[in-house]
């Protein structure tokens, strides 16, 4: 699968290298041409020997490249990942308008992508706003927004990305299912559990809400234990129970999580 990553910060590079290792063809955009060229030569600005080694490997194999030229990448991409959203203050979370500005580059090009994944830390409700904005500006409802909190714990490194205890995905409706299964095919083979939740729940987990990050168990029905033997019955049961996550109120979230943990 061709994937375009918007943003080449530390997390953006980890996601880029990780997806390339998983077999995808990844192009990562850095608006600064000089920085993009340095990354393309395998030069990291931070000291992470494991990430640097793997990055050079996937660069040599042609699975990953860095560039500042966005248009061609979007024409080829099936999935776009927004890995970072610039903020005027590095100590504060970007607002929803900042997310729209980061995604503005998507609207001027008739690309082939059908999914926009937000892995960046954004306030609750941002993905809903982005979905409505994309539907309006691109005159289509065929592009699905998915919240993917790749890093919602304290650790942020390549090993954690490649070997997560579970994968959290937030979205609405059933349309993203096929692309999600293809994107995480290697995780499916390893039977990594994937928890399908609402946009708001995934966003809250990404911002470090301890109540949520410590409360996602190994569900028996809600978690989608992805394997070659999965059935539509599991998916239908899962889709029924994920409605419990729709509330953003803290107490309701706790009740929903307790309810799910008690499902037998």
Complete domains list, the chain, with CATH: 2-261 (3.40.50.720)
Contact 234, 221 (CB under 8 A): yes
Question: pLDDT-derived band of residue 93, with 50, 70 and 90 as boundaries?
Answer: confident
The reported pLDDT for the residue numbered 194 is: 84
Low-confidence winner among 3-12, 37-46, 170-179, 203-212 (lowest mean pLDDT)? 203-212
Q: How far lies 225's CA from each of 152, 188, 203, in Å? A: 20, 8, 22
Contact 73, 67 (CB under 8 A): yes
The reported pLDDT for the residue numbered 240 is: 38
Structure tokens, 95:
């607002």
Is residue 191's pLDDT more than 90?
Answer: no
Is residue 248's pLDDT more than 90?
Answer: no
Q: For residue 89, report the phi and psi dihedrals to the nearest 5 degrees.
A: -125, 120
Give the residue, 258 or 142, on which the prediction is more confident: 142
Tens digit of pLDDT for each residue in 156-171? Answer: 899 889 888 888 999 9
Is residue 208's pLDDT more than 80?
Answer: no
The reported pLDDT for the residue numbered 147 is: 95
Question: pLDDT-derived band of residue 142, with 50, 70 and 90 as boundaries?
Answer: confident
3-state SS, the chain, equals CEEEEECCCHHHHHHHHHHHHCCCEEEEECCCHHHHHHHHCCCCCCCCHHHHHHHHHHHHHCCEEEECCHHHHHHHCCEEEECCCCCCCCCCCCCHHHHHHHHHHHCCCCCCCCEEEECCCCCCCHHHHHHHHHHHHCCCCCCEEEECCCCCCCCCCHHHHHCCCEEEEECCCCCCHHHHHHHCHHHHHCCCEEEEECHHHHHHHHCCCHHHHCCCCCCCCCEEECCCCCCHHHHHHHHHHHHHHCCCCHHHHHHHHHHHHCCC
Average pLDDT along the chain: 78
The reported pLDDT for the residue numbered 90 is: 60
* CA 21 – CA 14 distance, rounded (Å): 10
The reported pLDDT for the residue numbered 94 is: 83
Q: What pTM was estimated for this model as a whole?
A: 0.78
The reported pLDDT for the residue numbered 152 is: 58
Low-confidence winner among 19-28, 61-70, 242-251 (lowest mean pLDDT)? 242-251
Q: What angle do CA 96, 149, 31 make, to 5 degrees?
A: 60
Please classify residue 183 by burial: count the beta carbons closer than 10 Å to its beta carbon, then call 0-12 exposed, 13-18 middle and 19+ buried.
buried
* CA 62 – CA 45 distance, rounded (Å): 21
* CA 184 – CA 194 distance, rounded (Å): 9
Low-confidence winner among 35-39, 133-137, 138-142, 214-218 (lowest mean pLDDT)? 214-218
Give the residue, 228 or 79, on which the prediction is more confident: 79
Is residue 129's pLDDT more than 60?
Answer: yes
* CA 146 – CA 46 distance, rounded (Å): 29
The mean pLDDT of 42-52, rounded to a whole number, is 93
The reported pLDDT for the residue numbered 71 is: 84
Is residue 238's pLDDT more than 50?
Answer: no
The reported pLDDT for the residue numbered 72 is: 82
């Amino acid at each position: 699968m061709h994937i375009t990553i918007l943003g080449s910060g530390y997390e953006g590079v980890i996601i880029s290298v990780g997806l390339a290792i998983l077999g995808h063809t990844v192009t990562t955009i850095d608006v600064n041409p000089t920085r993009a060229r340095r990354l393309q030569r395998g030069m990291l600005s931070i000291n992470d020997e494991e990430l640097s080694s793997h990055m050079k490997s996937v660069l040599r194999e042609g699975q990953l490249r860095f560039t500042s030229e966005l248009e061609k990448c979007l024409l080829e991409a099936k999935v776009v990942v927004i890995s970072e959203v610039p903020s005027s203050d590095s100590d504060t979370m970007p607002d929803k308008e900042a997310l729209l500005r980061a995604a503005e580059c998507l609207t001027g090009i008739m690309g082939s992508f059908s999914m926009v994944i937000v892995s960046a830390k954004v306030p609750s409700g941002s993905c809903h706003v982005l979905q409505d904005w994309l539907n309006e500006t691109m005159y289509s409802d065929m592009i699905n927004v998915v919240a993917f909190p790749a890093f919602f714990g304290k650790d942020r490194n390549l090993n954690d990305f490649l070997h997560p205890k579970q994968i959290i995905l937030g979205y609405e409706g059933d349309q993203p299912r096929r692309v999600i299964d293809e994107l995480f095919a290697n995780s499916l083979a390893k039977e990594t559990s994937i928890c399908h939740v609402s946009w708001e729940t995934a966003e809250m987990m990404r911002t470090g809400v301890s109540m949520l990050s410590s409360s996602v168990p190994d569900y028996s029905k809600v978690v989608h234990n992805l394997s070659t033997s999965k059935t539509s019955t599991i998916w239908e049961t899962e889709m029924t129970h994920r409605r419990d996550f729709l509330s953003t109120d803290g107490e309701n979230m706790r009740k929903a999580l307790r309810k799910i943990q008690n499902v037998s």
